Amino acid sequence: MNRPTILLLTALAPIAWGTTYLVTTSLLPEGHPMLAGLLRALPAGLIALAIGGRLPSGGWWAKSLVLGVLNIGAFFPLLFLAAERLPGGVAAAVAGVQPLILLAMSTMVLRDRIRPTTAAAAVAGAVGVALVVLGPTAQLDLVGVLAAVGGVTSTALGMILTKRWGRPAEVGAVGYAGWLLTAGGLFLLPLTMLFEGFPARVDGGAVLGYLWLGLVGGLVAYTLWFRGIQQLPVIAPGLLALLSPVVATILGTTIAGEVFTPVQAVGIAVVLVALVAGQLSVRPRRLPTQETGTPGELADARV
């Protein structure tokens, strides 16, 4: 599979995640955001495990737990705490700095060299997201900002380690996603029971919302996402993640009737330019460690 195709497939993940805000506010019961995260991860993980037909073995039990917690289990509670303490735009703007965090981590863990054009694309992407989501009345809260930074740092480290460790050659992309989704979901299960519980009533719209989050935002999106992390330069998915707040803004305007401003249009243009420039600036190279995967995937696996 060529790199443009992998990029397009990987981009479907943040595009799907961009629908989360609209689905949550339109269909799901209020006051249960962590439950939404649990139902996004655990059922999808169990389905993926059944499809993959293989459990982790040896050191992959611990690796799956670490990756599942970093990418999913720790990210969701921090995301929800940030959402409670910050306006949505502020939380999304903080998330826009994730490519910069990824660049810093890739130099420390993957020994990658930061290219000026890639760093410039990451900065431009963060600025573009801020233009898209920040309003003139945006307010900051220290706990909320720390939670948002912790969430994006957790997923950034999860992406780096996902790239570093690869996946066993005998395990497919769906089965691998199942390991991580299940680990993240099991981490979320006691937290959800302790702090939220279940809503008193779940109507048909909520069922559809949970199915969308679990099947599309969970099973399909994370399978494509983890596969893309392993096959692309690590900054590439990090920049693609900027599509999520852009999609959320577009849906809010076209479906929820929110006001769309010229500043947001400029922000979207900046993000798109940063995405294209960032992908073009990356020069793939192989990891100095043993790679795993199918022959086609090994040909594309890069830092």
- For residue 191, count CB atoms less than 10 angstroms from its CB and return exposed for 0-12, middle for 13-18, buried for 19 or more: middle
pLDDT at residue 86, as a whole number: 66
Measured between alpha carbons, how far is 241 from 249 in angstroms, rounded to an integer?
14
**Is residue 28 within 8 Å of residue 36, measured between CB atoms?**
yes
Position 297 pLDDT exceeds 60: no
Measured between alpha carbons, how far is 300 from 84 in angstroms, rounded to an integer?
40
Nearby residues of 55 by Cβ (< 8 Å), 6 or more positions away: 49, 179
pLDDT at residue 139, as a whole number: 63
Q: Which residue has the tokens 């279940």?
A: 198
Task: Give the tens place of pLDDT for each residue, 285-294.
Answer: 444 333 444 4
> How does residue 137 score in pLDDT terms, banded at 50, 70 and 90?
low
Q: Mean per-residue pLDDT for 87-113?
A: 76
Position 29 pLDDT exceeds 80: yes
Provide the whole-model pTM.
0.84
pLDDT at residue 90, as a whole number: 63
**Is residue 302 within 8 Å of residue 286, measured between CB atoms?**
yes
> CA of 245: how far to CAs of 29, 31, 90, in Å?
22, 22, 11
